[in-house]
Structure 1
Amino acid sequence: MFGDMMGMMNKLKDAQKKVEETKKRLDTVLIDESSNDGSLKVTLTANRTIKSISIDDTLLEDKEQLEDYLILTLNKAIEKATGINEAELAAVAKEGMPNIPGMDMFK
């Protein structure tokens, strides 16, 4: 029984290491999103860190439109990044979970 417990602990440590590696890798996965007319472009990582924002000069003339475009475009990009992030981390967590009775909700 003690050996099984040590094996499970090692599997959990391995899973934690893989999750951390995946988080680092997700910093290199870039998501690009644009407004419908292409006048605003944003890039962020799958860990939801904004890397760049490109604004067409025409948007600088209308503060309200620029704010609306920023909100809409950033929200779309964040939604995509969150989907990628959650799918990747869930896959790693599922793969690394030891078989603990009653904890099959992760399988």
Structure 2
Amino acid sequence: MDLMGMMGKLKETQQKIENTKKRLDTVLIDEQSTDGLLKVTLTANRKIKSILIEDSLLEDKEQLEDYLILVLNKAIEKASNVNEAELDAVAKMDMPMIPGMDQLFK
């Protein structure tokens, strides 16, 4: 087993993962309530970029809270799926499969 070559490959893969994480900051995930009264946008790295709330929701605190929880959870789930798929693709593409290595990327 060429340990030096593998270490070089590992560094290269880590760099690609960092680059992918940076790129995922520019990938936007939009989600909204079924009636469109609440809209959120996050990056694929799960950072909230914007929240738009229709004025009518401001009159009902509980409804607004429920909407925020529902819509943010849906958006976070979508963003997580994109994030994991992208990072998995980079890790699998470049990594020789070494037992236990997959734990490094969690």
Please say whether Structure 1 and Structure 2 have the same fold, judged by a TM-score greater than 0.5.
Answer: yes
Q: CA RMSD in A?
A: 1.7
> Which amino acid in structure 1 is aligned with residue 53 of structure 2?
I
Alpha-carbon distance in structure 1 between the residues aligned to 2:46 and 2:34: 21
Q: Which residue matches 2:80?
A: 82
Q: CA deviation at 1:103?
A: 5.7
Gaps of 5+ in 1: none
What percentage of aligned pairs have identical amino acids? Answer: 74
Gaps of 5+ in 2: none
Q: Which residue matches 2:39?
A: 41
What TM-score comes out, normalization by structure 2 length?
A: 0.91
> Which amino acid in structure 2 is aligned with residue 48 of structure 1?
R
What TM-score comes out, normalization by structure 1 length?
A: 0.90
Task: Point out the structure with max Rg over C-alpha.
Answer: 1
Q: Which residue matches 1:71?
A: 69
Structure 1 segments of 4+ aligned residues over 3 angstroms from their partners: 102-106
The question of whether the paired residues in 2 share the 8 Å contact of 1:12 and 1:98 is answered with no
Q: CA deviation at 1:38?
A: 0.1
How many pairs does the alignment contain?
103
1:19 equivalenced with 2:17 (yes/no): yes
